[in-house]
Amino acid sequence: MTFKVVITLLHLAGDEEECRKIGGELFTTPCNTEDELIAATQDADAILTGMECLVPFTRKVISKLNKCKLIHNIGAGYEGIDVQAATDYGICVSFAGDYCSEEVAEHVMALILACARRLTRLDRAVREGKWGFTAKQEMPEIWSPMFQIKGQTLGIIGFGRIGRLIVPKAKGFGLRVIAFDPYLPSNVFKESGVESVTLDRLLSESDYISVNAALTEENRHLLGIEQFRKMKPTAYFINCARADFADEEALYTALTHGYIAGAGLDLVKGESISLDHPLLKLENVILTAHSAWYSEHSMSEIKRRAYEHLGQVFRGEWPTWFVNPEVKEKFLERWGKA
State residue 11's pLDDT score: 62
Does residue 13 carry a pLDDT above 70? no
Q: What is the pTM of this model?
A: 0.88
When pLDDT is cut at 50, 70 and 90, the band that residue 36 belongs to is very high
CATH number for position 303: 3.40.50.720
* Same domain as 89, residue 177: no
The tally of domains found in the chain comes to 2
Average pLDDT value for residue range 5-28? 84
Which structural domain range is residue 188 located in? Answer: 101-287
Amino acid letter, 289: A
User: Within this chain, do residues 143 and 182 fall inside the same structural domain, yes or no?
Assistant: yes
Residues 65, 115 share a domain: no
268 and 306 inside one domain = no
* Residues 133, 278 within the same domain: yes
How confident is the model over 62-77, as a mean pLDDT? 94
pLDDT for residue 192: 97
Tens of pLDDT along 240-291?
A: 999 999 999 999 999 999 999 999 999 998 877 889 999 999 999 999 999 9
Q: What is the pLDDT of residue 77?
A: 79
At residue 17, does pLDDT exceed 90? no
pLDDT of residue 15: 76
Radius of gyration of the chain (CA): 22
User: Of the ranges 73-87, 122-136, 282-296, which one carries the lowest mean pLDDT score?
Assistant: 122-136
Q: 190 and 71, same structural domain?
A: no
Average pLDDT, the chain: 93
- The answer on 65 and 117 residing in a single domain is no
Residues noted as catalytic? 242, 271, 290
